[in-house]
């Protein structure tokens, strides 16, 4: 057993790593680790004024600072019933365009492109690809210029405040931004062509659920009052918790999110998947030209989607400039007298859906809940890395796993500061299953289900082991057949993790034991499909998340009644371990 | 050819990564920066990082886990000079707001419940000089581009970094802004180290103190001035503590000794 590890993810923002543990032919564990320490951002502004909250909350992250600013402003203005004037609204949209261009051009050209061209970084790449690096830096500089013009600084600008802006940019500055955006268009076309025509690997590919803000009016955009899923389901702003259940895992200070127990994706690729049909102008043409089946299931296309969005932003900026030039007067900051209220703000940060919920009581912040896009993507990042690791392992390309996981994580453009740095592949420790089993049985009350075919020698082991455990008086042990007969089981086992006991061919010597999350079955054609009926019907998704397969390597699964001695030894080991 | 370029490393502990990002925000200077020195480590931008001897290490972020204490000590061992890069590294940053350990523990529990973390143990946010000797301080939330480039070019030529002994008010006056304190706003300009170019007051927004306290600030005087303007002691103390973590408590102690 071994583990492939990228201890320190590079070319991402923040400190993280990813590891994959391999047991024979099975990838038993994939962990996206976040080493960024706990900052307690949601607690920092409790007891402070709403103004301090607007200043401090966006400090969660440098690269999405204005997304956080827009989100906290939307939340607090909703809470305090502050309605801003159209000029403020469109100025904030312009500011957001700056951040999108800055973040997307940094990620595509400077951080991700080096992978596809085979360089360790963009500066090394500049010797042979000076033109690309230069376009990337110029675009980033332009995005930053807009951010600075509207927010006061490149990072953590304080100019946007509750009810408006401290100061509006001049007409001359606005005209300069408009002209400059138009001058960029030939280079924007080159960027889209470059990133949409890159040769993206086809591992991993798997369908997922995409989520983003519903901008309304059948338009593309970066904020809204509802969350829209690729299934068409919608959730109202204040109802965000019913879409998004946050939970904590022990290997990371970032909280995780799932929808109905399933991982989902947010970000540029999610937006293009959900809202792409709404793109107009050149961005619409490019969408029609390049969008295909791969975009729906391959996370590496995040980079292509980001390039499309760069085009959308460059086309939107002159429109916004014209709208803003139409407002001669600078509206005064709207003051408020409300001292109590709760509000939610939904914004699309460059890397995906961002939720801010702020509650004010007696003029001071009482409660803050922030759900960041990288926290939402964590589970899908792990899922896609697992798919890739398993497929590459199946194809005998173990040496490619590390680089591929690195590529996947980076494609998601994770902002680790936000969520709370890269990849690692390890062979599992000898008998790592013991620790896992101990952890689960001591912390929760799992239900054991023996699975197998009673007529195929070693494949009987799951059933036999469950029978022995049952006879020894252990509670909560069932056979596959019990489940079919007893529909009440589902209710009894509700919210408790399930441990399936089965013969699993993971390419090791007979009798070797392994343990891995049951979800991995779904990513691994070589493993038993016996669980699929349970997974799709009788068990709800919340439960799947916490369930495992305890597998024993069989010698033979031919027809017959004999269980091989090594497999029987393994059974005794498990029984001994459970009894102690 | 012998490589006599300065060996430099950029490191991120816990924070928003804004100071390292600020370096990439020097878009037009970025390639020159990379060519002028030998960058050994810069995880945000490069993959081929090495952990060898350094002439200069710029460390951003505050220390919030046991693992980071080890990393920081290792950086100190390898580097001839260490720079506390940004307010988090200099003062502890916004995440050092909970000065009382009990309050920090309570809040940690509120956020993460009873989860026992397996990867590393959390510790209360502290500036890097709580664990190692620091040669230079470059505050800012994040550091300003001008201040960073100025620092970088001076070091490159073997000169000591420029000292910023003035509070924000000095630059604010040069910029001919109307005094926000006079308008009755809770502005921390007189107490706060300059370097930002008085950017917030330039936008009619009171200074929130994100560069941390300026050396020799007359805290008592500002405190009583703000009290006279009608702000409560609690309000003033809270605003002063937002960015400056445990280091501001020294000032508070100084205040508590003053006659009320």
| Stretch (H or E) spanning A209 | strand A209-214
Q: At what angle do helices A565-579 and A432-443 cross, to 10 degrees?
A: 40
For residue A21, the distance in angstroms to the closest alpha carbon of chain B comes to 16
Check for a shared fold between A1-429 and A432-579: no
* CB proximity A162 to B under 8 Å: no
Domain range summary for chain A, segments of one domain joined by +: 1-429, 432-579
Q: Which of B 73-102 lie inside 8 A of A, CB atoms?
A: 93-95, 97-98
pLDDT > 90? residue A556: no
Which chain A residue has the Cα nearest residue B109?
A40
Residue ranges of B 130-189 with Cβ closer than 8 A to chain A: 141-142, 144-145
Given B111, B120, B205, which is nearest A166 (Cβ)? B205
Q: Tell me what pLDDT residue A495 has.
A: 66
pLDDT of A317 reads 97
SS3 category, A332 = coil
Rounded CA-CA distance A271/A221 in Å is 9
Length of chain A: 580
Mean pLDDT, to the nearest integer, of B104-111?
A: 82
Q: What is the pLDDT of residue A497?
A: 79
pLDDT above 70 (res B57): yes
Angstroms from B256 CA to nearest CA on chain A: 22
CB distance B115 to B92 below 8 Å? no
**Interchain contact, A123 vs B45, CB within 8 Å:** yes
**A7 pLDDT above the threshold of 80:** no
Which residue matches tokens 């050819």?
B1
Ranking A370-379, A390-399, A447-456 by mean pLDDT, the lowest is A447-456
- Compute the average pLDDT of residues A221-230: 95
- Assign A423 a pLDDT band (cuts: 50, 70, 90): very low
- Side-chain-side CA neighbours of A177 within 13 Å: the count stands at 33
Beta-carbon contacts of residue A75 (< 8 Å; ≥ 6 apart) = A343, A344, A345, A356, A357, A358
- pLDDT-derived band at B36 (thresholds 50, 70, 90) equals very high
Cβ neighbours of B19 in A, within 8 Å: 62
What residues does CATH 3.40.50.700 cover in chain B?
7-156
Partners of residue A517 on adjacent β-strands: A548
Nearest to B26 by CA among B148, B166, B121, B200: B148
pLDDT at site A542: 65
For residue A192, count other CB atoms closer than 10 A to its CB.
24
- List, in sequence order, every residue forming a beta bridge with A33; answer none if it has no partner: A17
In order, the DSSP letters of A251-289 are: TBSSEEEEBTTB-EE-SHHHHHHHHGGG--HHHHHHHHH
Spell out where chain B has E strands: 7-12, 38-42, 54-60, 63-65, 79-85, 122-126, 136-138
Structure tokens at A193: 């062509």
Chain B partners of A9 at a C-beta cutoff of 8 Å? Answer: 43
CB contact under 8 A, B45 and A121: yes
Rounded mean pLDDT of A312-323?
Answer: 97
| Cβ–Cβ < 8 Å for A67, A93 | no
- Residue A418, pLDDT score: 45
Q: Over 80: is that where the pLDDT of A477 sits?
A: yes
Task: Flag if A253 and B122 touch (Cβ within 8 Å).
Answer: yes
pLDDT of amino acid A110: 86
Of residues A52, A358, A155, the one with CA closest to residue B241 = A52
Identify which of A171, A61, A267, A535 has the alpha carbon closest to the alpha carbon of residue B44.
A61
Residue A211 has pLDDT above 70, yes or no: yes
Judged against a pLDDT cut of 50, whether residue A424 lies above it is answered with no
Closest listed residue to residue B83, CA positions, set B157, B174, B148:
B148
In this predicted structure, which of A47-56, A95-104, A124-133, B149-158 has the lowest mean pLDDT? A124-133
Q: Which residues of chain A make contact with B125, given a CB cutoff of 8 A?
A: 37, 39
Interchain CB contact of A62 with B (< 8 Å): yes
- Give me the residues of A, 512-531, that contact B with CB < 8 A: none
Averaged pLDDT, A195-204:
92
Task: Verify whether the Cβ–Cβ distance B21 to A41 is below 8 Å.
Answer: no
B117 → chain A, closest CA residue: A250
Chain B closest-CA separation from residue A435 CA (Å): 13
**Chain A residues in contact with B203 (beta carbon < 8 A):** 152, 158-159, 165-167
Tokens of A185: 């268009």
- In tens, the pLDDT along A242-266 reads 887 666 666 666 667 788 778 899 9
Long-range contacts of A453-457 (CB under 8 A, 24+ apart): A453/A557, A455/A559, A455/A560, A455/A561, A456/A557, A456/A558, A456/A559, A456/A560, A457/A554, A457/A555, A457/A556, A457/A557, A457/A558, A457/A559, A457/A560, A457/A561, A457/A562, A457/A563, A457/A564
Higher local confidence (pLDDT), A510 or A367: A367
Check pLDDT > 70 for residue A440: yes
Lowest mean pLDDT across A74-78, A292-296, A422-426: A422-426
Residue A446 has pLDDT above 50, yes or no: yes
pLDDT at A25: 83
Task: Tell the burial category of A295 from Cβ atoms under 10 Å away from its Cβ (0-12, 13-18, 19+).
Answer: buried
Helix axes A130-151 and A86-105, enclosed angle (nearest 10): 150
For residue A321, the surrounding DSSP H or E stretch is: helix A302-325
- Closest alpha carbon to A553 in A496, A518, A493, A513: A513
Structure tokens at B118: 């397996």
10 Å CB burial of residue A207 (0-12, 13-18, 19+) is exposed
For A505-523, what is each residue's pLDDT tens digit?
Answer: 777 778 888 888 877 766 6
* Partner-chain contact A43 B18, CB within 8 Å: no
Q: What is the share, in percent, of chain A residues with pLDDT greater than 70?
A: 86
Tell me which DSSP letter residue A50 carries: H
Average pLDDT over residues A316-343: 95
B170 phi and psi angles, rounded to 5 deg: -60, -50
Question: In Å, how far is A20's CA from the nearest CA of chain B?
Answer: 15
What CA–CA distance (Å, rounded) separates A378 from A325? 42
CATH class of the domain at A1-429: mainly alpha
pLDDT at A174 over 80: yes
- Our CA-based measurement puts residue A28 at a distance from the nearest CA of chain B, in whole angstroms, of 18
User: What does the pLDDT read at residue A419?
Assistant: 42
Coil, strand or helix: which one is A69?
A: helix
Mean pLDDT on A130-138: 90
Beta bridge partner(s), residue A365: A360
- State the smallest CA–CA distance between residue B85 and chain A in angstroms: 14
Average pLDDT, chain A: 85
Contact B118 A250 (CB under 8 A): yes
A28-41 average pLDDT score: 78
CB B47 within 8 A of CB B111: no
Which residues of A fall within a CB distance of 8 Å from B183? Answer: none
Least Cα distance to A250 among A86, A29, A411, A76 occurs for: A29
Which of B16, B145, B204 is facing A61, going by the closest CB pair? B16
With bands split at pLDDT 50, 70 and 90, how would you rate the model's confidence at A417?
A: very low
The encoded tokens of residue A556 equal 């033979």
pLDDT at residue B246 in the model = 72
Beta bridge mates, A369: A357
Shortest distance between the Cα of B86 and any Cα of chain A, in A, equals 12
Query: Residue B242 is nearest to which of A52, A126, A138, comparing CB atoms?
Result: A52
Q: Per mean pLDDT, which range of A335-349, B29-43, B94-108 is the poorest?
A: B94-108
Residue A228 belongs to what H/E stretch? Answer: strand A226-229
- Which of A407-416, B23-32, B168-177, B250-259 bottoms out in mean pLDDT, i.e. has the lowest? B250-259
User: Which has the higher per-residue pLDDT, B214 or B99?
Assistant: B214
- How high is the ipTM of this complex? 0.91
Q: Which residues of B touch A349 (CB under 8 A)?
A: none
CB < 8 Å from A in window 191-250 of B: 196, 199-200, 202-205, 208, 210, 238-239, 242
Tokens linked to A327: 């407002």
Cα separation, A540 vs B226, in Å, equals: 59
Question: Of the candidates B164, B169, B107, B108, which has an alpha carbon nearest to the alpha carbon of residue B140?
Answer: B164
Chain B residues close to A375, C-beta within 8 Å = none
- Kindly state the percentage of chain A with pLDDT values over 90: 48
Omega of the bond leading into A349 within 30 degrees of 0 (cis)? no
Mean pLDDT is lowest, of A305-319, A331-345, A505-519, for A505-519
Q: Give the rounded distance of the alpha carbon of B48 from its chain centre.
A: 27
**Rounded distance between C-alpha atoms, residue A458 and residue A511, angstroms:** 10
Q: Provide the β-strand partners of residue A560.
A: A456
Average pLDDT of the residues of chain B: 87
The pLDDT, as a whole number, for residue A269 is 97
Query: Residues 6 or more apart from A204 whose CB is under 8 A from it?
Result: A298, A299, A384, A385, A387, A388, A391, A408
Domain B7-156 has CATH 3.40.50.700: yes
CATH number of A432-579: 3.40.50.1450
Is the pLDDT at A401 greater than 70, yes or no?
Answer: yes
Cβ atoms A272, A291 nearer than 8 A: yes
* CA atoms of A247 and A223, how far apart (whole Å): 25
Helix (H, G, I), strand (E, B) or coil at A558: coil
Probe site for chain B from A153, A252, A417 (most B CB atoms < 10 A): A153
What is the percent of chain B where pLDDT is above 70? 92
Which of A404-418, B33-47, B182-196 is least confident? A404-418
Q: Which residues of B touch A43 (CB under 8 A)?
A: 98, 107, 110-111
Residues of chain B in contact with residue A123, where contact means CB-CB under 8 angstroms, are 30-31, 34, 45-46
Q: State mean pLDDT over A469-477.
A: 83
Query: What pLDDT sits at residue A432?
Result: 73
Question: By the 8 A CB rule, do A34 and A420 touch?
Answer: yes
Closest residue on chain A to B87 (Cα): A59
Taking CA A210 as the corner, what is the angle to CA A207 and CA A213, rounded to the nearest 5 degrees? 170
A66 — pLDDT class (breaks 50, 70, 90): very high
- What pLDDT does residue A256 have? 72
If you average pLDDT over each of A347-361, A415-429, B151-165, which comes out highest?
A347-361
Provide the sign of the torsion angle of the four alpha carbons B218, B209, B26, A139, taken in this order.
Answer: negative
pLDDT of B212 strictly over 70: yes
Average pLDDT, stretch A52-64? Answer: 91
Of A56, A110, A248, the CB nearest to B115: A248
pLDDT score of A290 more than 90: yes
Q: Which residues of A touch B108 (CB under 8 A)?
A: 38, 40
Separation CA A388–CA A347 (nearest Å): 31
Cis peptide upstream of residue A296 (ω within 30 degrees of 0): no
A68 interfaces chain B, CB cutoff of 8 Å: no
């Amino acid at each position: 057993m071994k583990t492939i590890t990228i201890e320190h993810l590079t070319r991402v923002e923040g400190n993280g790593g990813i590891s994959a543990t391999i047991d024979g032919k099975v990838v038993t564990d994939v962990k996206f680790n976040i080493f960024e320490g706990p900052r307690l951002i949601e607690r920092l502004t409790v007891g402070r004024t709403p103004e301090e909250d607007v200043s401090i909350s966006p400090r969660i992250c440098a690269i999405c600072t204005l997304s956080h600013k827009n989100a906290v402003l939307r939340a607090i203005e909703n809470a305090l019933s502050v309605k801003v004037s159209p000029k403020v609204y469109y100025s904030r949209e312009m500011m957001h365009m700056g951040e999108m261009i800055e973040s997307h051009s940094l990620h595509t050209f400077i951080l991700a492109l080096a992978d596809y061209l085979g360089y360790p970084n963009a500066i090394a790449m500049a010797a042979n690809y000076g033109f690309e690096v230069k376009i990337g830096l110029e675009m980033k500089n332009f995005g930053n210029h807009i951010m600075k013009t509207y927010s006061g600084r490149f990072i953590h600008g304080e100019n946007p405040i509750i009810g408006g802006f401290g100061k509006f940019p001049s007409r001359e500055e606005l005209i300069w931004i408009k002209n400059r955006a138009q001058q960029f268009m030939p280079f924007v076309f080159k960027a889209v062509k470059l990133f949409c025509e890159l040769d993206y690997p086809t591992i991993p590919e798997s369908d997922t659920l995409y989520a983003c803000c519903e901008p309304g009016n059948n338009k593309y955009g970066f904020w809204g009052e509802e969350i829209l899923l690729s299934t068409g389901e919608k959730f109202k702003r204040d109802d965000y918790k019913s879409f998004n259940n946050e939970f904590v895992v022990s290997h990371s200070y970032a909280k995780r999110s799932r929808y109905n127990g399933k991982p989902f994706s947010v970000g540029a690729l999610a937006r293009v998947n959900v809202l792409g049909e709404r793109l107009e102008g050149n961005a619409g043409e490019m969408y029609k030209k390049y969008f295909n089946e791969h975009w729906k299931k391959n996370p590496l296309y995040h980079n292509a989607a980001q390039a499309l969005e760069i085009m959308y932003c460059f086309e939107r900026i002159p429109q916004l400039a014209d709208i803003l030039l139409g407002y001669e007067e600078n509206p005064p900051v709207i003051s408020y007298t409300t001292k109590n209220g709760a509000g939610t703000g939904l914004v699309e940060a460059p890397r995906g859906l961002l939720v801010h919920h702020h509650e004010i009581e007696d003029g001071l912040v009482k409660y803050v809940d922030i759900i960041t896009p990288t926290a939402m993507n964590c589970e899908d990042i792990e899922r896609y890395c697992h798919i890739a690791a398993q497929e590459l392992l199946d194809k005998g390309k173990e040496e490619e796993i590390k680089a591929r996981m690195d590529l996947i994580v980076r494609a998601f453009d994770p902002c680790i500061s936000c969520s709370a740095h890269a990849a690692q592949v390890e062979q599992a420790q000898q008998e790592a299953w013991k620790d896992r089993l101990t952890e689960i049985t001591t912390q929760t009350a799992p239900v054991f289900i023996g699975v197998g075919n009673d007529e195929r020698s070693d494949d009987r082991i799951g059933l036999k082991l469950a029978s022995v455990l049952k006879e020894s008086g252990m509670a909560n042990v069932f056979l596959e057949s019990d489940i079919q007969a007893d529909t009440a089981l589902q209710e009894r086992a509700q919210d408790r993790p399930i441990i399936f006991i089965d013969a699993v061919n993971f390419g090791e010597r007979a009798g070797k034991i392994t343990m891995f999350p049951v979800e991995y079955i779904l990513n691994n054609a070589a493993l038993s499909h016996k669980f699929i009926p349970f997974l799709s019907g009788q068990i709800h998704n919340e439960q799947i998340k916490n369930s495992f397969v305890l597998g024993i390597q069989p010698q033979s699964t031919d027809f017959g009644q004999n269980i091989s001695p090594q497999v029987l030894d393994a059974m005794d080991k498990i029984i001994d371990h459970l009894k102690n | 050819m012998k490589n006599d370029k300065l060996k430099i490393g950029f490191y991120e502990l816990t924070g928003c990564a804004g100071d390292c990002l600020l370096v990439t925000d020097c878009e037009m200077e970025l390639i020159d920066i990379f060519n002028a020195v030998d960058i050994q480590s810069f995880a945000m931008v490069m993959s081929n990082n090495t952990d060898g001897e350094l002439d200069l290490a710029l460390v951003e972020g505050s220390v919030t886990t046991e693992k980071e204490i080890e990393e920081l000590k290792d950086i100190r061992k390898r580097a001839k000079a260490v720079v506390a890069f940004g307010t988090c590294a200099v003062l502890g940053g916004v995440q050092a707001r909970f000065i009382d350990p009990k309050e920090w523990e309570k809040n940690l529990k509120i956020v993460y419940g009873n989860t026992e973390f397996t990867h590393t143990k959390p510790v209360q946010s502290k500036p890097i000089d709580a664990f190692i000797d620091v040669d230079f301080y470059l505050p800012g939330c994040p550091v300003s581009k001008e201040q960073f480039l100025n620092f970088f070019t001076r070091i490159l030529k073997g000169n000591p970094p420029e000292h910023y002994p003035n509070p924000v008010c000095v630059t604010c006056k040069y910029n001919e802004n109307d005094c926000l304190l006079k308008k009755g706003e809770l502005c921390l300009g007189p107490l706060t180290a300059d370097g930002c170019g008085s950017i917030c007051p330039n936008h009619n927004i009171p200074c929130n103190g994100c560069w941390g306290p300026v050396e020799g600030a007359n805290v008592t005087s500002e405190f009583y001035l703000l009290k006279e303007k009608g702000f409560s002691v609690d309000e003033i103390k809270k605003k002063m503590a937002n960015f400056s973590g445990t280091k501001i408590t020294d000032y508070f102690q100084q205040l508590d000794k003053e006659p009320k």
